[in-house]
Structure 1
Amino acid sequence: MSNSDNKTSEQQWRQKLTKEEYRVCREQGTEAPYSGKLLHNKATGDYRCTCCESLLFKSENKYDSGCGWPSFDAPVSNEAIRYIEDNSYGMKRVEIRCAQCDSHLGHVFPDGPVSTGERYCVNSISLRFNDKMDIQN
């Protein structure tokens, strides 16, 4: 699917995604902590949106925060991520979404490493990993 998925209908998303991908990416769900397949991934490569394949994060920005979800200290660019104030569940947080297709990724917190001070806490199911060995360019 192309990176211009702003016009994809909910019915089309339901057909494209698994039930769990749809729940997390389109309904702002959360996968269980420590359950995601990319949590302990240490390979070199790119992390892309599950829904539209837009480039979101690079492996050099991934680190182990101990929070139970893949964590990054920065996205590939500020334009790759959409930031939304989230006051659900009695908490004040900032939700992060794919800027291209509006897929829910997770949240960003101001308790990251010294390099940026930010922790992008992302659901594994919201991401597709492309190993550097498979990347052209």
Structure 2
Amino acid sequence: MEKVVRSEAEWRQVLSPEEYRVLRQAGTEPPFTGEYVNTKTEGVYTCRACGAELFRSEAKFDSHCGWPSFYEPSDSDAVVLLEDRSLGMIRTEVRCARCDSHLGHVFHGEGYPTPTDDRYCINSIALRLEPEQG
């Protein structure tokens, strides 16, 4: 996968201010406000910044946490996981492997009835859904 590298000025030109805040400054959209929280449409979720495939609708589940949740990425190489010690806690940040944009966080061992027991808690604004053509 070819990496997408842009200057921060270039990112500001291609992203809206709110997209930039989340994707490039590791912000978080308010819970239950994102366009994909309750979406059941089948398709592929791509990175809003670079278009890389990140998640498939088959891995999306209702976690009732306020953000779209997936139990696994579409490919293990699609995302990069980093330790995040911000806000006085230790979490695992999820970033797009292609453009290094912040997507959200992943949590493990919360007891969800999914194949992986992982919850990739992803900001809707970091994603773009490409509906399945049927």
TM-score, with normalisation over the residues of structure 1? Answer: 0.92
Q: What one-letter code is carried by the residue in structure 2 that aligns with 1:126?
A: A
Which residue is 1:61 aligned to?
59
The one-letter code of the counterpart of 2:3 is: S
> Aligned residue for 1:83?
81
Match of 1:116? 116
Displacement of 1:83 in angstroms is: 0.5
CA separation in 2, counterparts of 1:49 and 1:101? Answer: 9
Distance in structure 2 (CA, Å) of the matches to 1:133 and 1:41: 16
The CA RMSD measured in Å over matched residues stands at 1.4
Shifted more, 108-117 versus 124-133: the winner is 108-117
Deviation of 1:10 (Å): 0.7
Match of 1:4 in 2: 3
Q: Secondary structure at the match of 1:84?
A: strand
Unmatched 5+ residue regions in structure 1?
Answer: none
Name the SS for the 1:133 alignment partner: coil
Cα shift at 1:52 = 0.4
Shift of residue 114 of structure 1? 3.8
Amino acid at match of 1:113: P
For the pair 1:106 / 2:104, whether they are aligned, the reply is: yes
Q: Is the 8 A contact 1:36 1:69 kept in 2?
A: yes
User: Does the Cα contact within 8 Å between 1:62 and 1:70 map onto a contact in 2?
Assistant: yes
CA deviations over 1:70-110 (Å, ceiling 9, x no partner):
00000011100100001111111000000000010000001
Percent identity of equivalent pairs: 50
SS at match of 2:116: coil
How far apart, CA to CA, are the structure 2 residues paired with 1:26 and 1:113?
32
* Residues 1:34 and 2:32 aligned together: yes
Counterparts of 1:53 and 1:25 in 2: how far apart (Å)? Answer: 13
Number of residues paired by the alignment?
A: 132
**Whole-Å separation in 1 of the counterparts to 2:68 and 2:89:** 21
Structure 1 distance, partners of 2:56, 2:100, is 19
Which segment is superposed worse, 107-116 or 35-44? 107-116
AA aligned opposite 2:122: V
- Amino acid across the alignment from 1:102: D
Residue type matched to 2:133 in 1? Answer: M
Does the CA contact (< 8 Å) of 1:73 and 1:113 recur in 2? Answer: no
Cα distance in 1 between the residues matched to 2:107 and 2:51? 24
